[in-house]
Amino acid sequence: MRIVVCVKQVPATNDARIDPETKRIVREGVKAILNPFDTYAVEEAVLLRNRFGGEVIVISMGPEKALASLREAISVGADRAILLSNRAFGGSDTWATSYVLARAIQKIGQVDLVICGKQAVDGDTAQVGPGIAAHLDWLQATNVNHVEDVTDRDMKVTRMHEDGYDVCELAFPAVLTVVKGINIPRVPTLRGRLASLKSEIPVWGPADIGTDIDKIGLEGSPTRVVKTEPPKPRSTATKKISGAAVDCAIELVRELRLRSIL
Amino acid sequence: MFHTVQNKMYHVEILPPKQDTEQLEADLESFSKKYNRVINSGYCACITDNAMGLLGFQGSEIIDVMGLDVNPEKVVIHLNTFHTKEDLHNILDTCKSRGIKYLLIISGDGSDRLPRLKPEDVNAMDVESVTSVELLKYIKDCCPDDFVLGVAFNPYEPPNHEFEKMQRKIDAGASFIITQPIVEKNDRVDELLKKYPHIPVIVDAWMNKKLQILSEAVGYKIPDDETFDPVVTLKKLHRDYPQCGFYLSLLSFKTQFDLLPGIWP
Amino acid sequence: MRLRQEYEKAEYKNIWVVAEILSGKVQPVTHELIGAARPLADQRNSQVWVVLMGSGVTSQAGSLFTFGADKVIIVDDERLSGFVDELESKVLVRLIEKYKPETVICGATTRGRALIPRVAVMTNCGLTADCTGLGIDPENGDLLQTRPAFGGNIMATIRCPSHRPQMSTVRPRVMKAPEPDLNRTGETIQEAVEDSDTAKIKRIIEIFHSDETVVNLADARIIISGGRGMKGPAGFDMLRKLAAKVGGAVGASRAAVDAGWIPYAHQVGQTGQTVQTKVYIACAISGQIQHLVGMQSCDLIIAIDKNPDTPMMQMADIAVQGDVFEIVPEIIAQIPKL
C-alpha cells in the first residue's frame, strides 16, 4: 500500500496571554510546529504501513523551513518526504494548494491512499483534503476516527458528524481526513530523530510536477484576502463574584436573568 | 542502594535532551559530558523520563546510542507509566543489554503526546489505570532477576493514602525509595524512615534557586519573598537525615557541581 | 468558473442556500442561511434558492419558503440518504452549471465543509470556509466574506473577484433565523440524480445516532464545559445535570478528554471543536490557549474556578471564584424547574 500524507507547518500556539484591554489572546513566540491534526495522519499511515506493508511518503507545500516538519514525520516512521517549494507556489489559496498537492500525488504515482489532518490550526479551513480528492476525482471521507477491514481494494472508515457517526466502505484510491482520537501518535525515538536529520528530502517545483502556471500561486487562487483586522474586543471589565457557594450561585443566576438567558 | 549512602554517592539528576530541541547533536554532547562528569566524580547518574510531561528522549536509548559506559552501581533510569507496551519492552531490553540495574518506577506525568500503559499491557486486569504499583509488579514478573526497582514517596500527598500506596509498592517488590524534593526537615519523611528502617531512603534535595518551580510541581506552599540557598539547605538536610542517601534535583552543573565535594559530612 | 471579462458576471444570478440535512431533517442552520441570504439577494435584485438534496425530503420544501426562499430545487433520491460526498457534489455541480447561481452558501457543518470544497474545485470556484459575516460590494456584486483565522485571533475579509459562483460555508448559530411567514410560498423545481457511477462513490454501511455520541456543540445555545479540575467522570455528571436544566450541551477541555472522563466529541478547542455560543460556562478550566481559541468568540463567557488568576478567569465576562463542586449544585438548585 502506498500512502501519501499531506502535512503543513503551522505557528505554535503555546505561548500566549490575555490582553487585559481587549480580553483577546496575545500570541508570543513564533515557533513553527507540525500541524497537530497532521500528527494523527502520519501515525495512521505508519500503522497501516506496518500492518499491510508498502510505503509512507509525506509531502508538504511551504517554505524551506517546512523541512523540519517533514523530518519530524520521518522521525516517527514515514519512509520518505518531498517538499513542494517554489516562489511560484506562494500566495496559493486552498484551491491552488490542493491542486499542487494533487499534482505531486499524481507525479509520485501508484498511490492508494492520501491521509490529511482534519484541518490546519492556522487557517482552520478544512478545505485542502476534499480539494485534493476533487482534483484527483477520488473518493473522500472526512472527520475519520477509525479505520478497519482494509483490503487491497477498499477499507471501512468511521466518520464523526454532528448527529453521531457512520461507517462507510471506501474504494481505493481515496482521500481521508482524520481527527484526534483515531490513534495516539508515537513520540520519536532518538534513533528515529537522528535518522531523520540525515534523510535526504527532495524539493519539487512547478516543473517537477507539471502544474499549469495559471492554477498556482496568487494567479491560480480564486480568493483574495482584502482585509485582515483584529476581532472586536470583548467587553472590558470582568464581573467578579466570590464568597459562599450559595451566594455565588444566587448572584450568577441573577446575572443570567438580567441578560435574559434564563 | 545502601552503597550510595555508605559511599556518600550523590544521585545527580540529568535531564535528557528535549524532543523539540533544535540542536539535538549539541544537546547530546552536553548530556554525555554531564553523565561522564557524574560517573567520574564517583556519583550516581539519574536520568529522568519525560519529567513534568515535557517530552525528552529516553535515557537508556541515549546511553546506548552515544555508547556511554555503564557502571551498574552508578546509573539509575527513571521509568514511568506513559509508554506503549512496545516502548516499555524496548527500554527494558536496552537496559538489560547495557547492564543498567537500577530503575526508579514512577507513575509519571502525562501529556497529550504521551500514551499510557493500559491495564492489559501489564497483566493488571483488576485496575482501571496503570500506576507505578502495576508497572513494578509487571517488571518483577517479566524480568525477575535483572533489575533493582525503586519507587517514589510524595510527602505532599494526603499521608494516609500515600502510606497505603507505599505499602503496596513495597509489597510489589520495591527495594529503595526516593522522595519528592524537599527543602527542610519533613514530618512525613520522618514517618517514612520509621516505617521502613530496612529500606534505603534517598532524600531529594531541591537544588534550583527558584522555589516557585517546586511549588508548581508539587504544590509546596512558599511565601513570596522567601530567599532560598540550595547549598545551605543541602547541608542542613544532611544533618537532619544522616542515615539517608541524597538525590539532587535540577542541580546546576555550571555553578553547583564543583561545590559538592566536602558537603556530605 | 473563471471569468475573463467583468460583464460575464451578469450571467450568474441568485443566491443559493444548500440545505443542511441530518437524519432526513432540514437543520436550523438552513433557516439561518436563508435569513442571511435574503437581504443580499434583495440588494442584487435577485432571488434566494434553496437546494434540498436528500432522501424523502420533498415534504420539507414548503417550510423553506416561509423563512424567505423564493425557489427550492428538490433532488429527492434514495441514493442521497446519508452523506455521500461524491454523489452530492456531482449533483450540485450539474445544477450549478445548469442554473448559474451568483453565490452558493452552505452551513459550515461537517457535511458542508466536506461537500463544498469538493464542489468548489470541480467548478473552479473560490470558497471561503466558516464565515461569520457576509456582505456585498455594490460596485461589482462581489461577496465580502468575513471569517476568523488563527482560532479567532484575526478576522479576514475575502472576496472572489473573477470567479462565479462565489462560495462560502457559514458557521451555524451566527446568523439569525427569521420569523417564519406562514403565508409565504414559492416555486419548486424537481431535479434528479443523473450520473451515479457506483465505483466512484462510497457505500454507507450503517449510520449511528446514539445518544452517547450526539454532541451538537455548534448548535447549542449554552455550553457547560469542564476541565481538569472536574477530577473525574462524576464531575461531568454534575455538569450534565446543569446542562439539562438550562437546555445546554456539555463541552470539555483537552485535559478532561485525554484523561478519559468524557468522549472526544465533547472537546472544545484547537484539536476539538470551535464554538460560538451565546453562553459558555467554563468550570475549572484554566484556559490554555488551545482551549481559548476554540471558545473566545462566544457572546458571554462565565468562568468558575478556585484560582482567580487563570487565563480563563481573566478572559471571562463573569468570573466566579470558588469550588465548582459546591457552586454548580447551588446553581442547579437556584434555577426553577422549567
pLDDT score for C338: 44
User: Which range among A56-65, B155-164, B208-217, C253-262 shows the weakest confidence by mean pLDDT?
Assistant: B208-217
Please report, for residues B59, B68, B139, C227, the alpha-carbon distance to residue A145 in angstroms, rounded to integers and kept in the order given: 33, 42, 33, 23
* Structural domain includes residue B198: yes
Question: Cα(C54)–Cα(C82) distance, rounded to whole angstroms?
Answer: 8
Cα B213 from chain centre: 17
* Structural domain includes residue C82: yes
Amino acid of residue A238? T
Domains held by chain A: number? 1
pLDDT score for B165: 95
* Structural domain includes residue C212: no
* Structural domain includes residue C316: yes
pLDDT score for A94: 96
**Set of cell numbers at residue C277:** 455560543
Please report, for residues A169, A173, B259, C226, the alpha-carbon distance to residue C199 in angstroms, rounded to integers and kept in the order given: 11, 11, 75, 45
Please report, for residues B31, B225, C54, C88, the alpha-carbon distance to residue C82 in angstroms, rounded to integers and kept in the order given: 57, 64, 8, 10
* Structural domain includes residue A170: yes
Question: Cα(C331)–Cα(A248) distance, rounded to whole angstroms?
Answer: 8
CATH of residue A188's domain is: 3.40.50.620
Pairing of strands C222-226, C203-208: unpaired
Q: Which domain holds residue C282?
A: 217-334
Same domain, C35 and C176: yes
> Are B61 and A191 an interchain contact pair (Cβ–Cβ within 8 Å)?
yes
> Please, which residues 50-89 of chain B have a Cβ atom closer than 8 Å to chain A?
55, 57-58, 61-62, 65, 84
Q: State yes or no: pLDDT of B122 exceeds 80.
A: yes
Pairing of strands C166-170, A239-242: unpaired
Q: Is A27 on the interface with C (CB under 8 A)?
A: yes
Number of residues in chain A: 262
CB atoms under 10 Å from CB of B242, counted, come to 10
What percent helix, strand, coil does chain B show, rounded to 5?
A: 40, 15, 45
Paired strand residues for A166:
A159, C207
With cut-offs at 50, 70 and 90, classify the pLDDT of residue A78.
very high
Q: Which domain holds residue B122?
A: 2-259
* Structural domain includes residue C62: yes
**Residues on chain A touching C301 (C-beta within 8 angstroms):** 234
Chain C neighbours (≥3 Cβ pairs under 8 A) are: A, B
User: Which range among A160-169, B108-117, C268-277 shows the weakest confidence by mean pLDDT?
Assistant: B108-117
**Residues on chain B touching A193 (C-beta within 8 angstroms):** 19, 24, 57
pLDDT score for A142: 97
* Structural domain includes residue A236: no
* Structural domain includes residue C206: no
Q: State yes or no: pLDDT of A233 exceeds 90.
A: no
Same domain, C222 and C318: yes
Same domain, C237 and C196: no
**Residues on chain C touching A121 (C-beta within 8 angstroms):** 151, 270-271
Question: Cα(B69)–Cα(A40) distance, rounded to whole angstroms?
Answer: 37
> Please, which residues 188-207 of chain C have a Cβ atom closer than 8 Å to chain A?
199-207
Same domain, C177 and C243: no
With cut-offs at 50, 70 and 90, classify the pLDDT of residue A27.
low
Domains held by chain B: number? 1
Question: Cα(A40)–Cα(A33) distance, rounded to whole angstroms?
Answer: 14
Same domain, C227 and C317: yes
Q: Which run of H or of E encompasses C300?
A: strand C300-305
Which residue ranges in chain C fall short of pLDDT 70?
151, 196, 210-215, 337-338
Question: Cα(C121)–Cα(A10) distance, rounded to whole angstroms?
Answer: 24
Same domain, C27 and C174: yes
Three-state DSSP at C145 gives strand
- pLDDT, one tens digit per residue, over B36-76 is 999 999 999 999 999 888 899 999 999 999 999 999 999 99
CATH of residue C266's domain is: 3.40.50.1220
* Structural domain includes residue A203: yes
Alpha carbons within 13 A on the beta-carbon side of B43: 24
Pairing of strands A164-171, A154-161: antiparallel
What percent helix, strand, coil does chain C show, rounded to 5?
A: 35, 25, 40
Whole-model pTM? 0.87
DSSP C37-87: HHHHHHHTT--EEEEEEESS-GGGHHHHHHTT-SEEEEEE-GGGSS--HHH
pLDDT score for A205: 97
Instruction: Work out the minimum CA distance from C325 to partner chain B, whole angstroms.
Output: 20
* Structural domain includes residue C275: yes
Domains held by chain C: number? 2
CB atoms under 10 Å from CB of C271, counted, come to 25
* Structural domain includes residue B265: no
* Structural domain includes residue B264: no
Residues B150-173 have a mean pLDDT of 94
- Closest listed residue to residue C127, CA positions, set C137, C136, C119, C139: C119
Q: Which domain holds residue A33?
A: 2-215
pLDDT score for A17: 63
